[in-house]
Structure 1
Amino acid sequence: MASVPAVAPQVEIATRAGRIAAWTGCGIVVFAATLPWWGESSWMREFVEIACYFVFAMMWNLLAGYGGLVSIGQQAFFGLGGYAMLVLGNFAGVNPFLAVPIGALAAALIAVPVSLVAFRLQGGYFAIGTWVIAEVFRLSIANIPAIGGGSGTSLTALRGIDKATREGLTYWIALASVVACIAGVYLFLRSRHGLALLAIRDNEMAAQSQGIAVGRMKLAVYVVAAFGAGLAGALYFVGNLRISPDAAFSVNWTAFAIFMVVIGGIGRIEGPIVGALIFWALNRFFSEWGTWYLLGLGLLAVLVTLYFKQGLWGYAQERWGWTLFPTRRRLLPAPAAASPVT
Structure 2
Amino acid sequence: MYRLTTRTRAGTVTAIAALGLVIAGLALPAFASRGVIQDLFFILTMLTLAQIWNLLAGYGGLVSVGQQAFVGIGAYAMFAGVILLGWNPVWAIPLGGLAALVLAVPTAFFAFRLQGAYFAIGTWVIAEVTRLLVAQWKTLGGGTGTSLPREATSNILGTDLIRALFSVREAAARDILAYWLALVLVVAVTGGIYWLLRSRLGLALSAVRDNVEAARSVGVDAGRIKWAVFLIAAAATGLTGALIFLQTARISPDAAFAVTDWTAYVIFIVVIGGIGTIEGPILGVIVFFVLRSALADYGSWYLMTLGLIAIAVMLFAPKGLWGLISARSGLHLFPVRRKLVGLKIEGGN
Residues 1:223 and 2:228 aligned together: no
Shift of 1:102: 2.5
Instruction: Identify the residue that residue 177 of structure 1 maps to in structure 2.
Output: 185
> Which whole-Å CA distance do the structure 2 matches of 1:94 and 1:38 have between them?
32
Instruction: Identify the residue that residue 202 of structure 1 maps to in structure 2.
Output: 210
1:158 maps to a residue whose letter is T
Residues 1:114 and 2:132 aligned together: no
Stretch moving more, 34-43 or 246-255: 34-43
Q: Could you tell me the TM-score, scaled by structure 1's length? A: 0.94
Instruction: Identify the residue that residue 145 of structure 1 maps to in structure 2.
Output: 138
2:258 maps to a residue whose letter is S
Instruction: Identify the residue that residue 96 of structure 1 maps to in structure 2.
Output: 89
Shift of 1:333: 4.0
Instruction: Identify the residue that residue 47 of structure 1 maps to in structure 2.
Output: 40
Residues 1:323 and 2:332 aligned together: yes
Residues 1:262 and 2:271 aligned together: yes
Residues 22-45 of structure 1, C-alpha deviations (whole Å, 9 max, x = no match): 111111110110122222111111
**Over aligned residue pairs, what C-alpha RMSD do you find?**
1.4
Residue 143 of structure 2: SS of its match in structure 1? helix
Stretch moving more, 78-87 or 93-102: 93-102
Instruction: Identify the residue that residue 251 of structure 1 maps to in structure 2.
Output: 259
Shift of 1:167: 1.7
> Which whole-Å CA distance do the structure 2 matches of 1:296 and 1:63 have between them?
26
Which segments of 5 or more consecutive residues in structure 2 lack a partner in the other structure?
Answer: 157-169
Residue 120 of structure 1: SS of its match in structure 2? coil
Aligned with residue 123 of structure 1, among 102, 116, 136: 116
Instruction: Identify the residue that residue 71 of structure 1 maps to in structure 2.
Output: 64
| Equivalent pair of 2:216/2:222 in contact (CA under 8 Å) | yes
| Equivalent pair of 2:131/2:257 in contact (CA under 8 Å) | yes
Instruction: Identify the residue that residue 295 of structure 1 maps to in structure 2.
Output: 304
How many equivalent pairs are there?
A: 332
2:224 maps to a residue whose letter is R
1:92 maps to a residue whose letter is L
Instruction: Identify the residue that residue 319 of structure 2 maps to in structure 1.
Output: 310
Residues 1:158 and 2:153 aligned together: yes
Residue 11 of structure 1: SS of its match in structure 2? strand
Residue 34 of structure 1: SS of its match in structure 2? helix
Q: Could you tell me the TM-score, scaled by structure 2's length? A: 0.92
| Equivalent pair of 2:274/2:322 in contact (CA under 8 Å) | yes
Identity between Structure 1 and Structure 2 (%): 50
Stretch moving more, 194-203 or 141-150: 141-150
> Which whole-Å CA distance do the structure 1 matches of 2:96 and 2:121 have between them?
25
Aligned with residue 17 of structure 1, among 4, 7, 10: 10
> Which whole-Å CA distance do the structure 2 matches of 1:200 and 1:273 have between them?
25
Residue 206 of structure 1: SS of its match in structure 2? helix
Instruction: Identify the residue that residue 167 of structure 2 maps to in structure 1.
Output: none
1:207 maps to a residue whose letter is A
> Which whole-Å CA distance do the structure 2 matches of 1:305 and 1:99 have between them?
40
Instruction: Identify the residue that residue 165 of structure 2 maps to in structure 1.
Output: none
Aligned with residue 200 of structure 2, among 189, 192, 197: 192
For 1:329-340, list aligned pairs within 5 A.
329-333=338-342, 335=344, 338-339=348-349
Stretch moving more, 189-198 or 329-338: 329-338
Residues 1:36 and 2:29 aligned together: yes
Residue 263 of structure 2: SS of its match in structure 1? helix
1:165 maps to a residue whose letter is A
Aligned with residue 98 of structure 2, among 105, 114, 117: 105
Instruction: Identify the residue that residue 279 of structure 1 maps to in structure 2.
Output: 288
> Which whole-Å CA distance do the structure 2 matches of 1:23 and 1:123 have between them?
39
Shift of 1:182: 1.0
Stretch moving more, 71-80 or 328-337: 328-337
Residues 289-331 of structure 1, C-alpha deviations (whole Å, 9 max, x = no match): 1111111100100110011110000111111011110000011
| Equivalent pair of 1:97/1:170 in contact (CA under 8 Å) | no
| Equivalent pair of 1:45/1:239 in contact (CA under 8 Å) | no
